Every structure is written in C-alpha cells, then in structure tokens.
Amino acid sequence: MIQMYRVSKKIHNTTVLEDVNLHVGKGEFVLLVGPSGAGKSTLLRLLHFDDRPTEGWIRVGEYSSSALKDRQIPLLRRKIGIIFQDFKLLKDRNIFENVAFALRVTGTRKSLTKRKALQTLTAVGLAHRRDAMPNQLSGGEQQRVSIARALVNDPFVLLADEPLGDLDKEASSNILELLKEINHRGTTVVMATHDEDLAAHMPYRCIRIENGRIL
Ligand SMILES: Nc1ncnc2c1ncn2[C@@H]1O[C@H](COP(=O)(O)OP(=O)(O)OP(=O)(O)O)[C@@H](O)[C@H]1O
Ligand SMILES: [Mg+2]
C-alpha cells in the first residue's frame, strides 16, 4: 500500500531524511515514533506528495513518485487524507464550510456536498457546531474538524501528524477511538507521535525514526 525505497530528503542543503525504507500494508495501523525534529512531518508530507523526495522513490496505492505527473497530484491528494499537526483550518470559514470545501474543490454536486459534509461532521460528533468558526472551538474540537475534512473524500490512506497534540486525556482518547474506527472500516492509517508512552500502550506496529533515519 505504502512503500518508500531509499528515500532521502534535503531541505536547503540539510539532509532531513536519509535512506528511508518503509512498507505499510493495506489496512494496517502504524505509528511513526520519534523525538521532535526526527523527520516525522517531513516523511508524512512526502507521502502526501506535498513534496518530492530528493532521492529514492515512494509509492502510495497505485501512485509512484517516479511516474507521477504534476497534474495528477491534486487527484491523488484527495485520496490520501492528512491531518496536520497545526490543523490548518480555514479561519474565515465556519466548520461546515471547512469540511465542505474539500469536496467542492473536487467538483462534487452541491446536494451531495451538503449531505457528505454533514454526515462526516456527525461521525466526529460535531454536526451541532457546524455554524461555529474555528476559533470558537476547543483544540480537541478543531482536531475533530480536521479529521472530518481529511475523511470526507473517503481516502484509502489517512496520515495523522501528532493528532493528539496537547489535548487532555479524554479528548485524546476520543480522537484515538475515532482513528481506530476509521482503520476498522479499512483505511490504512499512519500516525506520527513523539509520545513513547502512548506508542508502548497501543497494539500497533511502531516505526522508529531518529535524525532522519529509520531505526
Ligand atoms: N522548511 C524547512 N527548512 C529547513 N529545515 C527544515 C524545514 N522543515 C523541516 N526542517 C528540519 O527538518 C528536521 C525534521 O523536521 P520535521 O518537522 O519533519 O520533524 P518532526 O519529527 O515532525 O518534529 P516534531 O515532533 O517537532 O513535529 C528538523 O531538524 C527541522 O528543523
Ligand atoms: Mg512534526
């Protein structure tokens, strides 16, 4: 499902990832664990094709970085959901619009957009806040909106970058349950975390990364 082969990534002449090999099977839930600055976000951005590797190749589903044309990237991104470390919600649009926007850009019909956006907001328990603006929500609620936005296009892969951020225990466990459910429905999940303790208590495979290298 996901494969990285000898991937290196340089940013401004600094090597951020070096010789990364990794394989994630269809339907798997894996944790990408490593300290701050290890390269977790960089790796996820490469899997979302927000960025291209400096060396090596990446395959996600049927798409390979070596064969991918620039014009195919928007299409591919719709099939790979991503939850960013800092949410990246549109501040000037309400919750409903934040989720609906992800469908509109794909040219989805208005009626279907409304139905799917509400359905997804319901799934994350936020349909009742659909008219609220992002800054009126708590961190945990904003994170759930960003999950809804990542899921509304029915992605086959979900990339989650520190989705528990600095949420309290209850909010974290709600988000975690949500991710597990998504995985149970067949979506491959890759979740980045610096939280060793959390990783140790989860029944999932851990991929460890440090200084841009997989251990
Ligand atoms: N745009 C950039 N320009 C220069 N250096 C960068 C850039 N983005 C990332 N880096 C560097 O690459 C390294 C890896 O960064 P990355 O954000 O992938 O780490 P991370 O594992 O996600 O850390 P965190 O847990 O703090 O989010 C860091 O040393 C960072 O300073
Ligand atoms: Mg990061």
pLDDT of residue 174: 86
pLDDT of residue 166: 73
pLDDT of residue 105: 81
Its domain, for residue 112, covers 2-214
Whole-angstrom distance, CA of residue 172 vs CA of residue 210 = 24
pLDDT of residue 121: 95
Tokens 């979302």, residue located:
48
Report DSSP letters for 71-102, one per residue. GGHHHHHHHEEEE-TT----TTS-HHHHHHHH
Q: What's the CA-to-centroid distance between 44 and ligand 2, angstroms?
A: 9
Q: What's the CA-to-centroid distance between 40 and ligand 1, angstroms?
A: 8
User: In this structure, what CATH number is given to the domain that contains residue 124?
Assistant: 3.40.50.300
Whole-angstrom distance, CA of residue 120 vs CA of residue 123 = 5
Q: What's the CA-to-centroid distance between 29 and ligand 2, angstroms?
A: 18
Using a 6 Å cutoff on CB, does residue 42 contact ligand 1? yes
Question: In tens digits, what is the pLDDT along the chain, a chain of 215 residues?
Answer: 999 999 999 999 999 999 999 999 999 999 999 999 999 999 999 999 999 999 999 999 989 998 888 888 888 888 999 999 888 999 999 999 999 998 988 888 999 999 999 999 998 899 999 999 999 999 889 999 999 999 999 899 999 999 988 788 888 888 899 899 999 999 999 999 999 999 999 999 999 999 999 99
Handedness of CA 145, 151, 153, 157 (dihedral sign): positive
Using a 6 Å cutoff on CB, does residue 213 contact ligand 1? no
Question: DSSP code of 113?
Answer: H
Q: Is 0.95 surpassed by the pTM of this model? A: no
Closest CA to 160 of 187, 197, 139: 187
pLDDT of residue 171: 83
Q: Dump strand ranges (E) for the chain.
A: 2-11, 14-24, 29-33, 55-60, 63-64, 80-83, 157-161, 188-193, 205-210, 213-214
Which tokens in the block code for residue 153?
């296009």
Indicate which residue's Cα is closest to atom 24 of ligand 1.
36
**Total domains present in the chain:** 1
Ligand nearest to the CA of 14: 1
